[in-house]
């Protein structure tokens, strides 16, 4: 197995050496010529084409490094502007390419890949291929060569007679054995050299990470604004269609009672009883509405007790395990509460679960919440496809809403829900307890 792996690594190295050297030299030469022609205007159109070829070649080497040697090379390129028609758009696009530090890293890598990279990749194949020549010399081919030229060298051995020819064959065997042990490490070293030149530095990685984080926070802030506007509309609609309508009806009933209290006391008493029932229902609706905005138990007793109270209202058993040494900020507790409420509601409606486990704890500056059920699985991941028993319209929108809610606090959502279950929804929100 080790020999076959070494032979495969040597064959890959031979391919990298031949193809890599030719491609690197060709791309470097054409790109440099294109850059020189930029001052004449021609390069404005040829340089983007050549740099696209360089990036495609570098991307191929990244894939090979990962697949052949398990060496990951990050993709460091900046986002490019949309190509606008006309000369101004071409100048803008070409300038953006040349301002990207990754472009110049690619160009510096090409000559190194053509020389040092090709040498490292070619060495194992050379060690293997040198073995047959040693045996050819030992079989007597050394004689006509020595008679014609007077000397024949095999590595550091001067072949002048049969004994030295046999030594050459023995050295060839030793080199082949050496190649078995060094073929894969040398191939990996070639890819590590490429990573040293192609991978961005720590500062660039940090810059990309911060840029991605800013983009995500910008997107989630827009979602938060849209969500807040939708929530306000929902509250207005619930007040108008629910409590407000009942209060108007109560006012009309009180007017009728006032007119009937002397002429028809019995009917007035019935209207009073109906009005009292309406007032109780209006009070219940207002309490439900307030609970939907911010549960009183959450404000008074914190996230742990609020989640325990929420679990008691569910129709299936919910085992709650909360370990919190203090209270998080109010927006964090609110987001966590409603996220858990949405997950539990989805589990009750769509999963067919008989038991749910809720685990909440805080560690390393992160509030971690895990909701697990023994249902049939197939929950819809935001942006993914749903499975059996998880209607996309219900579960998908619910999980997407949770993701948006958590995203406003730089939190994340992960869902594991294979068909047949179980389903685990994990949420993390960065926060500190006080």
pLDDT digits (tens, 9 = 90+) for 113-164: 999 988 888 888 888 888 888 888 888 777 787 777 766 787 788 887 888 8
The answer on 341 and 254 residing in a single domain is no
The answer on 415 and 284 residing in a single domain is no
Determine how many CB atoms are found less than 10 A away from the CB of residue 408: 19
The answer on 279 and 310 residing in a single domain is no
The answer on 20 and 119 residing in a single domain is yes
Angle at 404 between CA 403 and CA 408, to 5 degrees: 115
Q: Is the pLDDT of residue 395 over 60?
A: no
The answer on 155 and 16 residing in a single domain is yes
Q: Is the pLDDT of residue 272 over 90?
A: no
Cβ atoms of residues 367 and 377 within 8 Å: no
Q: What percent of the chain has pLDDT over 90?
A: 19
Q: Is the pLDDT of residue 166 over 50?
A: yes
The answer on 284 and 193 residing in a single domain is no
Cα-based distances in Å from 212 to 27, 59, 128, 224, 226: 31, 21, 47, 18, 21
| Number of folded domains that form the chain | 3
Gap between the Cα atoms of 306 and 388, Å rounded: 32
Q: Is the pLDDT of residue 203 over 90?
A: no
Q: Is the pLDDT of residue 320 over 80?
A: yes
Which residues pair with residue 154 across a beta bridge?
A: 157
Determine how many CB atoms are found less than 10 A away from the CB of residue 172: 25
List the domain range (segments joined by +) for residue 335.
Answer: 302-430
pTM reported for the whole predicted model: 0.52
What is the reported pLDDT for 52? 93
DSSP β-ladder status, 318-323 and 356-363? parallel
Gap between the Cα atoms of 12 and 8, Å rounded: 6
- Give 22's pLDDT tier (boundaries 50, 70, 90): very high
What is the reported pLDDT for 393? 34
The answer on 340 and 227 residing in a single domain is no
Q: What 3-state DSSP class applies to 83?
A: coil
Domain boundary among 198, 215, 242: 198
The answer on 128 and 18 residing in a single domain is yes
Gap between the Cα atoms of 46 and 33, Å rounded: 9
> Maximum CA pair distance of the chain?
143
Per-residue pLDDT averaged across 54-64, rounded?
93
The answer on 222 and 351 residing in a single domain is no
For 415-426, write each residue's pLDDT tens digit: 888 888 788 899
The answer on 424 and 355 residing in a single domain is yes
Q: What 3-state DSSP class applies to 82?
A: coil
Domain boundary among 181, 198, 215: 198
Lowest mean pLDDT among 70-74, 170-174, 211-215, 407-411: 211-215
Domain boundary among 178, 198, 218: 198
The answer on 162 and 121 residing in a single domain is yes
As a residue count, the chain comes to 434
Per-residue pLDDT averaged across 92-101, rounded?
89
The answer on 337 and 280 residing in a single domain is no
Gap between the Cα atoms of 428 and 393, Å rounded: 25
């Amino acid at each position: 197995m080790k020999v076959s792996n070494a032979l495969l690594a040597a064959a890959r190295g031979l391919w990298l050496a031949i193809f890599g050297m030719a491609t690197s030299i060709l791309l470097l030469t054409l790109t440099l010529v294109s850059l020189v022609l930029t001052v004449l205007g021609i390069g404005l159109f040829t340089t983007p084409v050549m740099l696209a070829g360089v990036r495609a070649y570098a991307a191929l080497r990244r894939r090979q490094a990962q697949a052949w040697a398990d060496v990951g090379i990050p993709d460091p390129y900046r986002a490019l502007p949309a190509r606008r028609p006309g000369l101004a758009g071409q100048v803008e696009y070409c300038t953006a390419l040349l301002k990207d530090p990754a472009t110049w890293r690619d160009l510096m890598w090409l000559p190194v890949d053509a020389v040092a990279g090709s040498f490292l990749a070619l060495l194992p194949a050379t060690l293997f291929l040198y073995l047959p020549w040693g045996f050819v010399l030992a079989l007597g081919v050394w004689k006509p060569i020595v008679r014609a030229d007077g000397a024949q060298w095999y590595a550091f051995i001067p072949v002048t007679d049969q004994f030295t020819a046999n030594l050459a064959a023995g050295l060839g065997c030793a080199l082949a054995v050496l190649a078995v042990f060094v073929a894969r490490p040398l191939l990996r070293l070639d890819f590590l050299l490429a990573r040293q030149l192609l991978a961005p530095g720590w500062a660039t990685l940090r810059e990309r990470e911060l840029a991605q984080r800013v983009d995500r926070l910008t997107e989630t802030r827009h979602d938060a604004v849209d969500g807040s506007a939708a929530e306000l509309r929902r509250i207005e609609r619930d007040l108008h269609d629910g409590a407000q309508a009942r209060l108007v009806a109560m006012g009309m009933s009180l007017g009728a009672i006032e007119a009937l209290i002397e002429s028809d006391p019995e009917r007035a008493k019935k209207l009073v009883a109906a009005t009292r029932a309406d007032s109780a229902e209006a009070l219940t609706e207002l309490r439900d509405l307030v609970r939907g905005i911010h549960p009183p138990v959450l404000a008074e007793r914190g996230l742990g007790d609020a989640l325990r109270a929420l679990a008691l209202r569910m129709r299936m058993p919910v085992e709650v395990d909360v370990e919190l040494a203090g209270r998080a900020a109010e927006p964090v507790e609110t987001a966590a509460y409603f996220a858990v409420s949405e997950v539990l509601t989805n589990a009750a409606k769509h999963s067919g679960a008989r038991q749910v486990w809720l685990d909440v704890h805080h560690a390393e500056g992160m509030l971690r919440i895990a909701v697990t059920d023994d249902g049939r699985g197939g929950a819809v991941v935001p942006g993914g496809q749903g499975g059996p028993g998880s209607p996309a319209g219900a579960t998908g929108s619910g999980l997407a809403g949770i993701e948006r809610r958590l995203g406003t606090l730089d939190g994340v959502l992960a869902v594991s829900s294979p068909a047949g279950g179980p389903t685990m929804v994990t949420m993390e929100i960065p926060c500190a307890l006080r």
